[in-house]
A and B are shown apart, each in its own frame.
Chain A
Amino acid sequence: MGVATRTAVWSGGLFGLLCATILASAAHGPVSVDIPVVARATLNAVAVPVAIGIEMAGASVGSLSLSVPILDVQYAHPFSFAVPETDETIVRDIRLPRILLGAIVGFALASAGAIMQGFFRNPMADPSIIGVSSGAALGAVATIAFPLAIPFGLQTAAFVGALLAAFGVYVIATEDGRTPVATLLLAGIAIQTFLGAVISYMLLQSGESLEEAVLWLMGHLQYSTWGRVEATLPVTVLIFAVLLVYARDLNVLLLGEEDAHALGIEVERTKRLLLAGSSVITAAAVAVAGVIGFVGLIVPHMMRLVVGPDHRILLPTSALAGATFLVLADTVARTGPAEVPVGIVTAAVGAPFFLFLLRRREVHAL
């Protein structure tokens, strides 16, 4: 069976599993909603863009008033099933945004994890290895601790911080246009340690906002909105598509950089693209959900044991499995006796599972 077919079959199956998990999750909560009702409410929420236009909107800067072009997307709602209004509100306005955001974040983190493990040829690599998460945390904690000094929103600050940190690590590790993977790894660890120090100091100075900052650092999906879903989805899907196109190049890169070059891969350019792609996709996820650990580490690992090392199938299956895993973990996080940040759940489930793999020596099979 060809790679394309295998990828399609596996991805189709996992996508079905993800959809089922989303429905089941949306049925769960303080108020139980029947699954058929959830399904209808979810379908009602489906929006298909039917027209994309550019509209001139008036904006005023000081005394100037300008016309600014704004992308205007019109959506059609193809389904309108009859659903009790309370249930529809619970599902559509409260649960779905959180569940979908969880799916997107899990999808992004697992994709980036799969890419990074291949890139570094190291089973312990995860999306935060080149400082993305630390940079995001710095941005986020800074806005939480000093809300007046920093004019951007938390998400923007986290996103920008993540990209700056990754870019900084890349620049430090690059010499004469070449970026040795080992140097990148060490530079990443050094920057993470340094940013960790800065973050700790800011936490000490954060006073009353300490709790909020710590909650963010643990990673949670509590304040999910449709707005965040709309902001992260296009970035994630677009970058994922680019990464998937380069999946075969990453396979060849696993043979070693010299072999990859001899097989026609422009090694440094491909490395830059993979690094940039996985950094942006991770930054988007971390900006809206905080530092959720272990998804990017465990999920690609597990999928590699199941589908093998070919990234053309590993990347999409990891992404979908990551989405499913995070939706499940967040369902546990929000329906337990007391709500906990989902980062605690993923770490509590992920670490023992990782140890299990380690004992079975599966980790060495990487």
Chain B
Amino acid sequence: MIDVDGVSLSFGDVPVLDGVDLRVEQGELVGLVGPNGAGKTTLLRAINGILDPDAGDARLAGEPVAELSAREVSRQLATVPQDTHVGFAFTAEQIVEMGRTPHRSRLDWTDDDDPVDAALERTRTDHLRDRSVDDLSGGERQRVLLARALAQEPAALLLDEPTASLDINHQIRVLGLVEDLVAEGRAALAAIHDLDLAARFCDRLVLLHDGGIGAAGPPETVLRDPVLGEAFETTAAVTDNPVTGTPTVTAVADRTARDGRVHVGGGGESGRAAIRTLWRAGYDVSIGPVPEGDVAAALAEHLDLPVVTAQAFGVPDDATRERTRRFAETADAVVLTGDPGSDIVATAADESSPIHASFNDGPHAVARGDGGQLTVVDSEGALLTAVEEHLG
């Protein structure tokens, strides 16, 4: 339905889009993600004809937008703007009625009730119809704008940050409605800031980065793509949302990578605390052995860290011991937790690693060893200090 073919666009000397290709089929909700200034809104404007691309073209149902009149475009494609300040005190119904503009003659002043009523009902804004849009809350106004788009009876929808000014309840409701509209066979392309929401509602995500498509595909793939962290200039941790089962992204803005790898022996809550502390401080972290399904193992996987897993409730086999030993021996520091698996690590570390720290379960009893001597530290902060001292 929407085809973007090699679109390049610059504002003066500043290139914003550089050869963007994109395709949105009917019945598909595609999320356009990317950092501020990546050109999401610009791309939407190039698609609805407000901006003319310097090169390439955007097509609607096969026809180049540049060759269509605004009216022809607006009959097929509705744009839901980011919360607009209307200014004059139009009622919600009047605003939605303006959605009929593409289908009405200038001289036809009769009311076009059916599509307007349907749009109001669909967006559950029926009760707001006589209220002035200026008096509505952000969430209500966004729904009215969506109703206006529906009144256009379009085959495709563009949405520019439809949830930017909404609380979580309304975010879900608005996107849920868009999801339904798409299920009826419309095509929708939505610029969405919130990666979690994008992952939850969109069939595909397209990541805009450096003026081009950084990554595209199912949400799980795009959010785990290394380009994501690069695009947002931050380190992102992807976990699965326990409720929705869709990927959730957590940006860790204050993490700056440091030299040195620390191996954490053993999982459990204390292992997880050690991973979190050391990883956020910027160290490379490896972990093991930990039983499958351990909380520390889960965290390590989300952070994309190397993990040695062992069968739960069993004695680690030789292969596991050997892999663990290799990780521990090559690490710059070793943290021991009170977990049973720590023993294997302790053996390896005693023999090879000049430094090791021990992190006992319980009330943050942490030991640090130097030349075989373990020094006990009792908090995550103290653990970090100990590691920092030894790694310089």
Contacts and interface: CB of A to CB of B under 8 A. Distances in A.
Contacts of B87: 121, 254, 366
Interface stretch (B16-24, B70-78, B251-259, B271-279): B70-78
B110 A2 contact: yes
Interface in A1-38: 2-4, 7
Contacts of B111: 2-3
Nearest to B158: A262
Interface string B42-57: 0001001110000000
Contact of A248 (B45, B106, B152): B106
5 closest A-B pairs by beta carbon, nearest first, are A264-B74, A309-B88, A264-B102, A264-B71, A262-B79
Contact of A254 (B74, B88, B91, B109): B88
A170 B25 CA distance: 43
Contact of B48 (A7, A255, A261, A309): A261
Interface stretch (B93-101, B115-123, B203-211, B233-241): B93-101
B340 to A, nearest CB: 63
Nearest to A122: B87
Nearest to B160: A258
A102 to B, nearest CB: 29
A83 interface: no
Given A246-B106, A249-B106, A264-B74, A309 B101 contact: no
A312 interface: yes
A346 B265 CA distance: 88
Interface in B303-333: none
Interface of A is mostly: helix
A310 interface: yes
Contacts of A225: none
Contacts of A245: 106-107
A118 B69 contact: no
A316 to B, nearest CB: 12
A263 interface: yes
Interface of A: 2-4, 7, 118, 121, 245-246, 248-249, 251-252, 254-256, 258-259, 261-267, 304, 308-310, 312, 365-366
A259 B81 contact: yes
Interface of B: 45, 48-50, 69-75, 77-79, 81, 84, 86-91, 94-95, 98-99, 101-102, 104, 106-107, 109-111, 148, 152
A265 B101 contact: yes
A262 B48 contact: yes
5 contacts: A4-B109, A251-B90, A255-B95, A261-B49, A309-B88
A122 to B, nearest CB: 9
A261 B101 contact: no
Contacts of A264: 69-75, 101-102
B106 A265 contact: no
Nearest to A117: B88
A366 B71 CA distance: 28
A263 B102 contact: yes
Contacts of A309: 88-90, 94
A2 B116 CA distance: 14
Contact of B70 (A7, A266, A365): A266
B88 A3 contact: no
A263 B74 contact: yes
A261 B71 CA distance: 8
A310 B94 contact: yes
A267 B70 contact: yes
Contacts of A7: 109
